Structure 1
Amino acid sequence: MGRFGDWLLLLIGAGFAVWLLIRRFDRWLHEPPGARLRRLAQNGGVIPDDTVALLQENGYEVLSGKHRVPLGVKVDDGPVQGTRLYFDYLVSKEDKYYLVKLERARQPMDWTASGLRERLLAYALLFPDCEGIIVADPKDKWMRTVRFQVEDDEA
């Protein structure tokens, strides 16, 4: 009788685990676009400063600030090495989301297509629901929006 009870408990546990997996997959499948960004916006606080004022003057609603996205990098069969990707603010305007990176004197932005690709493409790929990436310099009071698009290579 003990073996029957063990099998019964095992089947109940396995059925529960399968039910949880199906439920989680269904939630992910039916998650509306931008839900990841909305969750991200709820997690970060905003400290008023010159950048927030500049963004608000240009019609953006600052949702959150100072985010760190943890990433793992594995080379061949080596151990996973941790690294992080940072962005400064998440803003919205007309129901569209934008990531904000600040221009820094020690790492000036290379405004060529290849320079922008090297520096900002990772953000566009990690957050495909964003309309673009805003590069802002609160000291000189300017902002530029960068958008990436895949082009056909037919000539």
Structure 2
Amino acid sequence: MPGPTTTKAAALGAALLLAAAMAPASASPAAAPSAAPAVTRPAADPVLVDCFFKPQVRPAGFMLACGDGNSRLTSLTWSRWDADAAVARGRNLVNDCEPYCAAGTFHSYPVLVRLDRPREWKKNPRLPHYSRMTLTYTDTRPERLARVETYPLWD
């Protein structure tokens, strides 16, 4: 017949087992590290920062030459806008500046626009922005530009 000490020990052991079974997962021993680190996605998809430092999402137009307005994107139709990149088709209106910019003529060129390299935006670190734009001219292009032009975007 078990004595009072044995009964107390059995009750204490049962209580410990019950407590261990009910403990939160954070109190459990750490699991082995996974092979791939967890990727933290930003709370919002990146934005395109315009000349006035305003965030834009899927804009229909975008000024490339903020100082003089001699190059801008128009008629943008976005097929992608996510955490990694954005893609649109549209037109690039470029002033030929002949004989000089104030007397020049704007010409329209079909273009594929790609935004990528999302980075922290200095003005609002919780809102990422695309930091690079690549223009691919799909037909004719301005004489002074290559078929593919890549530009860093302002912060």
TM norm structure 1? 0.27
TM norm structure 2? 0.27
Structure number with greater Rg is 2
Structure with more strand by fraction: 2
Structure with more helix by fraction: 1
